[in-house]
Chains A and B, each alone.
Chain A
Amino acid sequence: MSINGKAYVAGVYEHPTRRAVDKSLAQLHAESALGALADAGLGKDDIDGYFCAGDAPGLGALSMADYLGLRLRHIDTTECGGSSYILHVGHAAEAIALGKCSVALITLAGRPRAEGMATGTAPRNYGSTSPDVAFEFPFGPTVVNMYAMCANRHMYEYGTTSEQLAWIKVAASHHAQHNPDAVLKNVVTVEEVVNSPMISDPLHRLDCCVISDGGGAIIVTSPEVARSLDRPLVRVRGAGEAPKHQMGGTIDLTYSGARWSGATAFEEAGVKPADMKYVSIYDSFTITVLMQLEDLGFCEKGQGGRLVSDGNLISGVGALPFNTDGGGLCNNHPANRGGLTKVVEAVRQLRGEAHPAVQVANCDLALAHGTGGSLGTRHGAATVILERE
């Protein structure tokens, strides 16, 4: 059994806030939900499935179902870090295909800026019952130094350079200049990226994504519901998910779980990387994009540096337009979780609703991919392939 063609993305919404001192966490989830419902042309009472992850308040789906007054027959709180919402699109399609629900709501929200969180540079302790904590937390693993170790090893094995990584930020900045909501709207150069302060070798400040409050939501529906709405039809063609971890100490930091989740999604969709007109790629750091593009099969392993250079990721310039909203690197990384906005921009592209300056011509097939958790320790990879009918 396949989900190919069994579900449609009918509504998407990216909350415009980037700093939400005046809003509660539940409120941000709710405003995002209402935004996606309005986009789809549906109402609250149409929702019969709800999906959320670790950023949701309280008891997750239970607390948000209560807050929103939802009557549900399907809930899924699969937590996979920032890629959860891409994975939820696949899970929602599965549930819809099985008749467990017909209108699925996925929400994300968070306010790390309002709460003054040291997102990238402070070690996070997931609690003493997490079996890895005693063997890792004392050594100060942070978001940035773990991704930095991946970059360092990739450079060592494949000769990848800081200048090549910088091209990824440059491309994102070219897109973000057209997004009035973007945190960073200025176009930057390779020189500016590699000359920005070193945060954790070899990653510079401009290799890192922004820190932002905000949220977003996605509505996935059955084909029948989607066809009853006055919106372009965006079909789910394939999905894949895969955790990658330390494999008992046989650690290899040069590849991600995209190797597996991507293969699964492409097989289900019956398409190949070269068929993609647009890609949304999780961009917590520049190195994240480079490794995932390799692992998804957009180039040979180790050739990512060449793939991303010379503007190849810039819409209208290169062959592989990516993250045309400016991505996490320049636009928005709500709740330190960039997966949901990846789906949002892919849907905008497929509908022809991206900013005209970055809209990809004849964009009928797109991919959204994310890495949740940490590329340097354990993460969940999630891939979804979407098609405009």
Chain B
Amino acid sequence: MASRTFPSPVPDPDTEAFWQAAKDGTLMIGSCRNCGEKHYYPRSVCPHCGSGDVTLVASSGTGEIYSWSVLRRADPPYAIAYVTLDDGPTMMTNIVDCDLDTLAIGQRVELVFSPTEDEDGPPVPTFRPAAP
């Protein structure tokens, strides 16, 4: 089955460390030293308490599908999803390496980075059905 080509994200000063970690194979999420809450996408200020004392922490890379939809009109069709990480935040992603007709809310998934179209572009965090 053909898979879609992922456009490369463009790192900026706010997100450079996140994308460097992605190149190293780790999904990072935002974490606040003040309130202790996690957030996604990562940013320079905590969206929960407003503190600037934020850092990145590694995610376990496991979670479950919060919602999904297969864009049947795309060529090739692909599955967009929100995945709720076991670490807390819910993030936008694609479900890859899967049967597009068997996706379900609540389904367990695991992180797999997918390469992007630019040679130097960082990979993006996608998910596949978890091994049983």
Contact = CB atoms under 8 A, between A and B. Distances in A.
B94 A249 contact: no
Interface stretch (A6-14, A67-75, A193-201, A223-231): A193-201
A135 B83 CA distance: 13
Contacts, number: 117
Given A138-B6, A140-B74, A141-B80, A149 B41 contact: no
Interface residues of A, number: 39
A149 B38 contact: no
A251 B69 contact: no
B74 to A, nearest CB: 7
B9 A149 contact: no
Given A149-B68, A149-B82, A248-B48, A134 B90 contact: no
B60 to A, nearest CB: 15
B92 A136 contact: yes
A247 B67 contact: no
Contacts of B38: 249
A137 interface: yes
Contacts of B9: 133-135, 137-138
B10 A134 contact: yes
A149 B71 contact: no
Contacts of A135: 9, 40-41, 91-92
Nearest to A120: B73
Contacts of A250: 89-90
B33 interface: no
A131 B72 contact: no
Contacts of A150: 67
B11 interface: yes
Interface in B100-118: 105-106, 116
Interface in A121-150: 121, 128-129, 131-142, 144-146, 148-150
Interface string B61-90: 000001111111110001011100000111
B67 A201 contact: no
Interface string A288-308: 000000000000000000000
A148 B88 contact: no
A156 interface: yes
B32 to A, nearest CB: 9
Nearest to B100: A201
28 contacts: A128-B10, A128-B12, A129-B12, A134-B10, A134-B11, A134-B15, A137-B7, A138-B9, A138-B116, A139-B80, A140-B4, A140-B78, A149-B80, A152-B67, A156-B105, A156-B106, A199-B72, A200-B69, A201-B70, A201-B72, A246-B90, A248-B48, A248-B89, A249-B29, A249-B90, A249-B91, A250-B90, A253-B82
Interface of A: 121, 128-129, 131-142, 144-146, 148-150, 152-153, 156, 197-203, 246-251, 253, 377
Interface of B: 4, 6-12, 14-15, 19, 29-30, 37-41, 43, 46-48, 66-74, 78, 80-82, 88-94, 105-106, 116, 124, 126
6 residue pairs, one from A and one from B, having the closest CB atoms: A249-B89, A248-B47, A134-B9, A148-B69, A249-B40, A248-B39
